[in-house]
Structures are given as C-alpha cells and as structure tokens.
C-alpha cells in the first residue's frame, strides 16, 4: 500500500502550525529522537525526495535536513543560487512549478519572506522556511524542544531575548503567543522590534535594558549582532550593540537555573561571552543537535500527517 499523504501544508513561519500541531511535532520529535539514539530503523519517507534551496550560507540547516531526510529513508537534492537557474533570473513562480513536480517537499533559505511565499503559492508540495530575513521557524522548533527536554513545559515560563530585532526574535514572538509563555525583549533603541512582525500582546514585554529583560527568565537567548544579508551595517551595529552582550551579569539577573541558548554560529566576545556560551547553563550543542530531530518530525508531519507509527 502506498504511504499516506497529508493535505498540502507549508511551514513558512511558526504560526503556520497551531499550538496543538506544534505540541504534536514536539511529541513526535521525542519519539523519533529516542528511536534514533537506539539505532532503530524508522524510514517512513522511503521514495520521498527533499529539494533544499540555499541562497545564503549554512552549516546546521544543510546538515540537519540532509542527514534527517536520508535517515527517514528519503533522498535529497541540494540547489544553490550559483549552480541553478535561480541565480540567472528564472522567475520564482516558474522554479516553484518545475521543482515541485519533481520532488515531494522543498526547504528554502532565502532573503525576503515574500520570496518564499511566492514560491509556496506555486508549489504542489510542502515548502519549509529554512531561514528568511523575517523568520527562522525551524530553529525555534529546536529551541523550544530543547527547553521542554531540559525543563518540561514552556507554558507559563519566561524567555529573555537580548540583542537584534531579527528573524529569531520575531519567531520567538510567534512562539510566545502560540505556546503561552512570556517573551521579554531588549534591543538597542536604534534597532527596535518592527510592530508589523511583533504586534503588542500579553505575551510580549519590551524592556529597556538586557538586565531588565533577563530578570526572572527561565531561558536567556541571543543571536549575532549582524545577520546574513546585513553585513554592510557591521561597524555601526558593533557600536550600537556593545551593551547588548549576554555575560555573567546578565545571566545572574535570570533565575538561578536559567538556560542559555544561541542558534549559532556565535561570535564569542560580541553578543555572548565565552564564559556563558561554554558555561554550565549553556545548552547550545543540544540545541544544534535538536535541529535534526525536530525537522524529521516536521517533515513527517507535513508529508504524512498524524497517521504515523
Ligand atoms: N542556526 C542555523 O540556522 O545555522 P546555519 O546557518 O549553520 O544553518
């Protein structure tokens, strides 16, 4: 009997899944990770193909999606702007129509969110956001799963975001509303949250300093001061973000058992000190590994729905 196929769903931002669906993905992640650690064969995506489109560099996203799809029994095609017609102005709509007739699922890392949305509109198969300027939903899946693994539920907890108002921050904003926790954010005054991506709400608290944001937090998290695509702003950002560094003083403002996360790659001595990144509260290596497990659960959900073993 051919494997079941789920109705077409995309994962272009975290809010494309409901809180209940996210809980399902986290439960499946636990199971899929346990099986993987026991070397149990689990290949529900045999004969399925993932196309990965990268318009920006990657280590974790590439390795986790590629390894994950092979482990689930499928195969992978890796496309970049430089080695495909995408870099030679073939319209996104045409690329989407062609690629999605040949594969079962697509992961895209690109610049503007509008680009991945255009691709998805013309795709016959699920499209996953592997990072855009606005959102990084696969990373937040891994971060929330890591928190659950370490501390139990995230509902009712407090997460501190310190640093840039970037794709990670905006995805944390969505996670807080969907999963019921408080997000305390502190960014430099010249780099505030964009209210279109971070609408005011009970789950979002904007703070005037990193210490205020970290106060009472169960998790402190940050990211590089300059995201990919914004390198021209590097020097100005270095000056503006100098006081938005997660160091021992910031961690001391959080709960005594607070975790530290960073999506990586990190710049020790810039957004986080080596003492924190490599210290006992840091779970960044589990966080990175969990990209593999959550994305396997995500691909399983988008392709097979809940009808899984
Ligand atoms: N965190 C993350 O997305 O890492 P890569 O840029 O290496 O994929």
DSSP 236: H
Query: What DSSP state is assigned to residue 232?
Result: G
> What is the atom index within ligand 1 of the atom nearest the CA of 109?
8
Check residue 3 and give its pLDDT.
55
Active site members = 109, 136, 139, 223, 263, 291
Across the strands, what pairs with 51? Answer: 77, 106
Compute the distance from residue 60 Cα to the ligand 1 centre, in Å: 5
Which regions in the chain score pLDDT beneath 50?
1-2
How far does residue 58's CA lie from ligand 1's centre (Å)? 5
- Beta-bridge mates of residue 141: none
For residue 15, give Cα distances in angstroms to 119, 139, 261, 264.
18, 14, 21, 23
Neighbour-count burial of 237, counting CB atoms closer than 10 A to its CB (0-12 exposed, 13-18 middle, 19+ buried): buried
Give the model's pLDDT for residue 4: 62
Closest ligand 1 atom to the C-alpha of 131?
Answer: 3
Q: Which of 263, 286, 292, 295 to mutate to test the pocket of ligand 1 (most atoms within 8 A of CB)?
A: 263
Check residue 102 and give its pLDDT. Answer: 98
Distance CA 225, CA 201 (A): 25
Per-residue confidence (pLDDT) for residue 1, from 0 to 100: 44
Closest residue by Cα to atom 4, ligand 1, is 60
Task: Give the position of tokens 């636990």.
Answer: 30
pTM score: 0.97
Residues with C-beta less than 6 Å from any ligand 1 atom: 58-61, 131, 139, 263-264
State whether residue 229 is helix, strand or coil: coil
**Burial state string for 93-108 with b = 16 or more CB within 10 A and e = fewer than 16:** eebbeebbeebbbbbb
């Amino acid at each position: 009997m051919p494997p079941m196929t789920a109705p077409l769903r995309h994962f272009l931002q975290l809010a494309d899944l409901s809180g209940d669906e996210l809980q399902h993905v986290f439960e499946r992640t636990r199971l899929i990770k346990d099986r993987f650690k026991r070397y149990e064969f689990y290949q529900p995506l045999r004969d399925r193909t993932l196309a990965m489109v990268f318009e920006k560099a990657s280590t974790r996203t590439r390795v986790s999606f590629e390894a994950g799809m092979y482990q689930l029994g499928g195969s992978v095609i890796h496309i970049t702007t430089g080695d495909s017609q995408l870099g030679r102005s073939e319209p996104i709509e045409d690329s989407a129509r062609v690629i999605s007739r040949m594969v079962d699922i697509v992961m895209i890392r690109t610049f503007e969110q509008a680009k991945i949305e255009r691709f998805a509109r013309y795709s016959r198969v699920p499209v996953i956001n592997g990072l855009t300027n606005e959102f990084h939903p696969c990373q937040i899946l891994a971060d929330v799963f890591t928190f659950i693994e370490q501390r139990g539920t995230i509902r009712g907890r407090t997460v501190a975001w310190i640093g840039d108002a970037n794709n990670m921050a905006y995805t944390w904003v969505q996670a807080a509303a969907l999963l019921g926790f408080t997000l305390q954010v502190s960014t430099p005054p010249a780099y505030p949250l964009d209210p279109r991506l971070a609408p005011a709400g009970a789950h979002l608290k904007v703070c005037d300093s990193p210490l205020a944001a970290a106060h009472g937090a169960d998790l402190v998290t940050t990211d590089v001061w300059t995201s990919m695509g914004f390198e021209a702003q590097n020097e100005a950002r270095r000056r503006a973000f100098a006081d938005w560094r997660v160091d021992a003083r910031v961690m001391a403002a959080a709960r005594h058992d607070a975790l530290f996360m960073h999506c990586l790659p990190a710049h020790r001595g810039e957004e986080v000190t080596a003492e924190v990144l490599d210290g006992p509260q840091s779970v960044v290596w589990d966080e990175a590994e969990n990209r593999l497990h959550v994305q396997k659960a995500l691909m399983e959900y988008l392709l097979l729905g809940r009808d899984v073993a």
